Chain A
Amino acid sequence: MKESKITKYYPLIPVCATYLALFIIGESVPGMWQLVAMLAFYCAIGQAFNIFLGMTGYVDFGYVAFMGVGAYGMALSVERLHMVEGIGMGVVFLGLLLAVVLATLLSLAVGAVALRLRGAYFAIATIGVNEGFRYLIEGAKLWGGSEGIVFYGQLAKALGSETASQVSTFWADVFVFLIAFMAACITIVYMRSKIGYALTALREDEDAAKVMGINVTKYKIIAFITSASVAGLIGAAGWALKLTNVFPPQVFEIHYTVECIIIVLLGGAGTLLGPPVGALVYGLAKYWLSVIIPGFQLFIFAPIILVVIVVFPEGIMGLVKKRWRGTGLGKFIE
């Protein structure tokens, strides 16, 4: 069945609809914005992480380092440039740019070492980068060392106090929404292109793919760098700009990588809708549990995760995809 150019991208519609719905709920219902922002954050990191994990099956345990370095990009831009006359919102945009640059550089460095490795070795090598980089910052007192960078005051000087407050509590989150959507677009473009086919082949059987003449390394690198740069943007917007501070132990915490993994797995790795679905389920469940049984939510969560993994390891969307393949609605699911 020949797919027309447009129907290829139908699965973007449910994703778009979900993000739009979230945004509208956040804007119209009082008190929901921060929660919606948190969900958007989870969606974004899930989508970004999925660009690499979903398509290649490789688990980058040190993923949070890209978010961390992106956060530093934003923080450094505000800290060093806020005194420039008339720069205003320029510090924010420069911060985003710097975030992408730093994340890309780091991913090149990591990729050079780690992408030659497979499976668990890859996962652990990436942890090595994450931890190593964090200790380098602390040990060599780079960028403020362990004291991090606190820049609310400087942001306020550059933007004016009112705007700074708006940016940090609203616009930063809007950026996260946009980034999540961008990540979704990138995912589907990749999936429908040569890159996607090559990586699916790789995921199924890497050696066979190589034998078939597929330049496995090139595509791995593309996916890896893309995933990392988006992570940098998320770190810049969702962490630095929103919280107006960056502390090394917080932005390099491995816990966030694990959350990415949970979100993607729960939703369905390698699918387009998987990360948003996983993010919503995970974020809402966590929030709800922390409201009704404060202090006990992890205790309940852990066995739930266990049950989900054991009973349906291909994730929610993986199951849905299988059931609806070939049907009318199936065109919208990927």
Chain B
Amino acid sequence: MFGIQLAGNLLQGLVLGAVYGMATMGLSLIFGVLKVVNVGHGAFMMVGAFVALWVFNGLGLSPIWAIPAAFVLGMALGFIFFHTSMKRLIKAPELASLLATFALGILLEETVKLIYGADFHGYNWIVGKVSMGITVMPMSKIYAFVGSILIALILYFWFTKTRGGTALTCVVEDSEGARVCGINVGRAYALSFSLGIGLTVASGVLLTMFIPVGISPYMGGVYTLKAFVIAVLGGLGSPYGAFFGGLIFGLLENGSYSLFALIPGLEPFAMTRFFSFLILLLILLIKPTGLLGTK
């Protein structure tokens, strides 16, 4: 019985972890190239969640269509924000960009609140379930899982096989050297920021495919925190690290529940949260640059 519970939790954790991981790739990308920590990360995911809501409830289409829509919207938002504010802050102290992204996050939350109100929304996309013996997995979660992995793979190919992607990798390694090689660093910055935001907004859709309720303007805060932990786990500048960090995080959070449930006098769920942060601190002690970090 315990074994089945544990296995079930681990499986669910893996699926959720893929979504978390994909969501954090944008954060890691932006940090890797621009050295900016996007404190408004959760707010952008929230925007994606609302796009999914609108596509399903408003347009009556499957939320899968929301993924490219959210991505495009995200890239547009990233582009606008970059050219209006972030561009000037690349040379400023780290704090300034921190606060700027925080302010952006608030602006997004308040704007969405004006449009949709402070309500909690949800949508109901039923496409069947798969009973896996150890647990039951709705197809929507499986779609989210597959979608996250696909996007991560596409990103991998883009970074390693295309000119644009490899150019970005060069900028991460050495921006001066890249400039000397003829790469337009300014445009690389703009592209990474837009791409990072695009990924983050798209991940909001995938998140709702896993958790289609609780969508509200202020939902993002929790995810920002998780993303930070995952990004550091995997190494702040590395998008792939972020993805694997997410998988590990999901496994830890859910798997540890079964272990804590065995200890009387504890609330296992809260303890899983404590546990994941404990692991974070341990990893930072042993390998501060994170699991896949290079710097």
Direct contact of A and B (CB under 8 A): yes
A interface with B by C-beta (< 8 Å)? 53, 57, 59, 113-114, 116-117, 119-121, 123-125, 127-129, 131-132, 135-136, 138-141, 145-146, 254, 258, 261-262, 265, 269, 296, 298-299, 301-303, 305-306, 309-310, 313
> Contact between B100 and A265 (Cβ–Cβ < 8 Å)?
no
> Contact between B232 and A131 (Cβ–Cβ < 8 Å)?
no
State whether A135 and B273 are in contact (beta carbons under 8 Å apart), knowing that A124-B232, A261-B99, A309-B99 are contacts in the complex. Answer: yes
Chain A: CB-nearest residue to B100:
A309
Chain B, interface size category, equals 35 or more
B92 contacts the other chain (CB 8 A): yes
Mask of B89-104 contacts with A, CB within 8 angstroms, 1/0:
1001111101110111
Q: Would you give the shortest CB distance from B76 to chain A, in whole angstroms?
A: 18
Chain B residues with CB under 8 A of A296:
110
Q: Would you give the shortest CB distance from B116 to chain A, in whole angstroms?
A: 14
B167 contacts the other chain (CB 8 A): no
List 9 additional contacts besides A302-B106, A313-B96; criterion CB under 8 Å: A119-B94, A124-B231, A125-B284, A132-B280, A139-B260, A269-B95, A298-B110, A306-B107, A309-B99
A301 to B102, CA, bound (A): 12
Q: Would you give the shortest CB distance from B192 to chain A, in whole angstroms?
A: 16
Chain A residues with CB under 8 A of B274:
132, 135-136, 139-140
Q: Would you give the shortest CB distance from B198 to chain A, in whole angstroms?
A: 21
B166 contacts the other chain (CB 8 A): no
- The residues in B between 70 and 111 inclusive whose CB is less than 8 angstroms from any CB of A are 85, 88-89, 92-96, 98-100, 102-104, 106-107, 109-111
Chain A residues with CB under 8 A of B178:
none
Chain A: CB-nearest residue to B224:
A254
Chain A residues with CB under 8 A of B209:
none
Main secondary structure of the interface of A (DSSP, over half): helix
Chain B: CB-nearest residue to A132:
B277
> Contact between B31 and A120 (Cβ–Cβ < 8 Å)?
yes
> Contact between A128 and B100 (Cβ–Cβ < 8 Å)?
no
The answer, among B85, B109, B273, B288, for a CB contact under 8 Å with A121, is B288
State whether A261 and B95 are in contact (beta carbons under 8 Å apart), knowing that A254-B225, A302-B107 are contacts in the complex. Answer: yes
> Contact between A138 and B88 (Cβ–Cβ < 8 Å)?
no
Chain A residues with CB under 8 A of B103:
302-303, 305-306, 309
State whether A114 and B284 are in contact (beta carbons under 8 Å apart), knowing that A120-B94, A299-B114 are contacts in the complex. Answer: yes
B266 contacts the other chain (CB 8 A): yes
Mask of B260-292 contacts with A, CB within 8 angstroms, 1/0:
100001111111011001101100110011100
